């Protein structure tokens, strides 16, 4: 019960952090997703596993501008997938455990969020890990909200969650909503 409450607390804190960051990074209805993820996921990873584990983390965020309607599910998806990565990260034979998070713009109208963790000897004791499937279901739901394609890749060495999603076109959206450009 204590572990379940800690998980729920972590999810609520993620949501609160996302909303606070949105207010700090939103300009004219646009959100720099790279800045938002940099502030939320960085804190999550640093808080997730102690320094004594030797966890190597890497974050790479390209500038991607989104509407808040896209930034919220993207941030929550990234937080949930990062939490799962930290929960199940393992120490590979002969190497350091790692978690990598990246946001890249793969086309003018498409972006990719990727979260990868190493597999091996578990850093979190198995008795402290409770796999209910809620995290996976939330990741699927957030990917669907983004209109994205969710791909999971797994082998003996790593586990990756990859979401390719369309970037909403600001010009089309402003025109569609009745806002016209001044000439």
Structure confidence at residue 171 (pLDDT): 62
Task: Tell which residue, 149, 138, 94, 150, has the closest CA to residue 118.
Answer: 94
Q: Rounded to 10 degrees, what is the CA torsion of 41, 18, 21, 2? A: -70
* CA–CA gap between residue 132 and residue 41 (Å, rounded): 22
Structure confidence at residue 3 (pLDDT): 52
Structure confidence at residue 69 (pLDDT): 85
Q: What is the pLDDT along the chain (183 residues), one digit of tens a residue?
A: 555 555 555 666 666 666 666 666 555 577 889 988 988 888 788 776 666 678 899 999 999 999 888 988 998 899 999 988 988 899 999 889 999 999 999 999 999 999 999 999 988 777 666 667 888 899 999 999 999 999 999 999 999 999 999 998 866 544 444 433 333
Structure confidence at residue 173 (pLDDT): 46
* CA–CA gap between residue 30 and residue 9 (Å, rounded): 28
Structure confidence at residue 179 (pLDDT): 37
**Which phi and psi (to 5°) does residue 123 adopt?**
-80, -35
Eight-state DSSP code of residue 53:
G
Structure confidence at residue 134 (pLDDT): 81
Structure confidence at residue 180 (pLDDT): 36
* CA–CA gap between residue 137 and residue 134 (Å, rounded): 5
């Amino acid at each position: 019960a204590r572990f379940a409450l800690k998980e729920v607390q972590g999810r609520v804190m993620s949501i609160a952090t996302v909303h606070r960051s949105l207010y700090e990074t939103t300009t004219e209805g646009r959100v720099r997703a790279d800045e938002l993820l940099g502030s939320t996921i960085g804190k999550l990873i640093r808080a997730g596993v102690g320094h004594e584990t030797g966890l190597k983390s890497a974050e790479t965020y390209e500038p991607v501008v989104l509407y808040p309607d896209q930034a919220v599910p993207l941030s929550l998806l990234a937080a949930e997938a990062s939490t799962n990565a930290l929960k199940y990260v393992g120490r590979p034979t002969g190497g350091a455990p790692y978690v990598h998070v990246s946001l890249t713009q793969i086309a003018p109208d498409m972006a990719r969020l990727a979260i990868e963790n190493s597999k091996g000897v578990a850093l979190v004791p198995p008795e402290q890990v409770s796999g209910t499937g809620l995290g996976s279901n939330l990741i699927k739901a957030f990917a669907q909200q983004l209109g994205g394609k969710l791909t999971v890749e797994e082998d003996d060495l790593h586990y990756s969650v990859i979401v390719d999603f369309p970037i909403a076109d600001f010009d089309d959206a402003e025109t569609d909503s009745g806002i016209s450009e001044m000439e």
